[in-house]
Structure 1
Amino acid sequence: MTARVGRDRPAVVVVLTHLVAPLAVFYGLRALGAGPWIALMAGTTITAIETIFTAVHRRRLDTVSITVLAILVISAGSSLVTGDARLLLVRNAAGTALIGAWLLVTLCLRRPLLFDGARMFQSAEARQRWDRRWQGSSVFRRALRVLTAAWGAGFLVDAVIRLLLALTLPVDLVPLLDNVLLVVTVMVLLVTQKIVGAHYRNRYGLHLRQGSSDQRED
């Protein structure tokens, strides 16, 4: 089965339309002699079309879709006024900054984002077990909050690096490095998550995987 983002958005589609296709279009148009602004805008259009199509198909605009479209419109409009292609590059830093900030904000809410994010990929029965673990284990709640904080901080660091790349390096180099940075950031965070998970498993007998049962609860 294809991995999914949300419940009906194949992850491969998101990767293709938000990462691979814009990169291919940008470098393809640059090779054909197009200016950096035109090449970046063409790639951005693919992302916007996919986001709008998904919203129409689902008959609703979720927070993620609204955020993506807002960033695209603001960055495109600003760069159109100034003629500066770098403003289109900065949108990626804005996107990861918003993700990181929202992850941290959810620490102040009833449940952190990682809890609800995990539920999106579960069956109804698995969601019930997940909810019971949240209600019954303070260690489980603390672990998910720690992981949410780690992912939030990681994306904020990613945003700072991405902003520096966009403002200092040659425009033609930044789109490629943006994608490389995303892979590095996610890999580092996954390793961090594995280390944190091992700590809670060894110290508390807590298994964070969705299908696992805790050996002891607090």
Structure 2
Amino acid sequence: MNGRARAGLLLLVDLVAPAGLYYLLRAAGLGETAALLTCSLMPGAGMTLTFVRERRLDPVGLFMTGVTLAGAGLTLVTGSPRLILLKGALLMAAFGGWFLYSARGGDPVHGPRPMAMRLSRPLLEGWAVARWRPWDELWEHSPLFRRIWRVSTIIWGAGALADAAVRAVIAFALPVDLAVGLNGGLYALYSVLMLVIVNVYQVRAGLFDRRVYASAAPE
């Protein structure tokens, strides 16, 4: 299993599996608070597995574990299981802020690449876009190429912040049993919705059109 596959598996364990375990525990007769506290151990297990196998700490797993432990501690103090449900909202808020920060101004050519470009590059470069020009060259010479990836990153970031707001409302406004399932399902809904929106924008903006590459300096 390669690095991306392992990362995807651990992400699945951290984000999706806890909801399934929660409903199994509830069906077995466990209370809401006890079931949520038990499920909150799963992100920590994924991070521990990464550390044992690769001798490194996964930043996302570390953040999720810290947020979960904080929520679990507050739940034990207050007796309210809803604080654990805020984990998803805080994770998406951090994700959105990270993306928006990466799309900031500064040196447009030599500054850091936007996160949408960095994450999409292994999937797209060499498939369609790089048939005409390498991405590094395009980034340096094509203002339109840079704009497309900055806007794409802003779309992802803004969508994540909106998702975080929805999760916060769900955590406090809906029954806990329903909120757990909705929080898990929102990850799939967010991913599909944002992929559609971003891809429609990129096609309309010309990411897969030769006019983007014609604006770059000649080889």
The one-letter code of the counterpart of 1:110 is P
**Do the aligned partners of 2:96 and 2:158 also contact (CA within 8 Å) in 1?**
yes
Q: What count of residue pairs does the alignment treat as equivalent?
A: 205
Q: CA RMSD in A?
A: 2.6
**Do the aligned partners of 2:100 and 2:157 also contact (CA within 8 Å) in 1?**
yes
The one-letter code of the counterpart of 2:49 is F
Shift of 1:136: 2.4
**1:64-213 correspondence to structure 2 within 5 Å:** 64-108=60-104, 110-119=112-121, 129-201=134-206, 206-207=207-208
Shift of 1:20: 3.4
The one-letter code of the counterpart of 1:83 is G
Q: What does the per-residue CA deviation read over 1:138-189, in whole Å, with 9 as the maximum and x for residues that have no partner?
A: 1111101000000000010000000000001000111111122222211211
Question: TM-score, normalised to structure 2's length?
Answer: 0.82
Q: Distance in 1 between matches of 2:98 and 2:7?
A: 23
**Do the aligned partners of 1:112 and 1:144 also contact (CA within 8 Å) in 2?**
yes
Is structure 2 residue 25 aligned with structure 1 residue 26?
no
**Do the aligned partners of 1:134 and 1:140 also contact (CA within 8 Å) in 2?**
yes
SS at match of 2:112: coil
Shift of 1:21: 2.1
Q: Bigger relative contact order, structure 1 or 2, given CA contacts below 8 A and separation 6+?
A: 2
Q: Distance in 2 between matches of 1:159 and 1:103?
A: 14
Shift of 1:57: 2.3
Q: Which residue of 2 aligns with 1:216?
A: 214
Question: TM-score, normalised to structure 1's length?
Answer: 0.83
Q: Which stretch shows the higher mean deviation, 128-137 or 159-168? A: 128-137
Q: Distance in 1 between matches of 2:211 and 2:77?
A: 56
Q: Distance in 1 between matches of 2:119 and 2:211?
A: 19
Q: 1:119 to 1:199 in 2, by over 3 A?
A: closer
Q: Which stretch shows the higher mean deviation, 169-178 or 102-111? A: 102-111
> Which blocks of at least 5 consecutive residues in structure 2 are unaligned?
105-110
**Do the aligned partners of 1:7 and 1:121 also contact (CA within 8 Å) in 2?**
no
> Which blocks of at least 5 consecutive residues in structure 1 are unaligned?
none
Shift of 1:62: 4.0
Shift of 1:86: 0.3
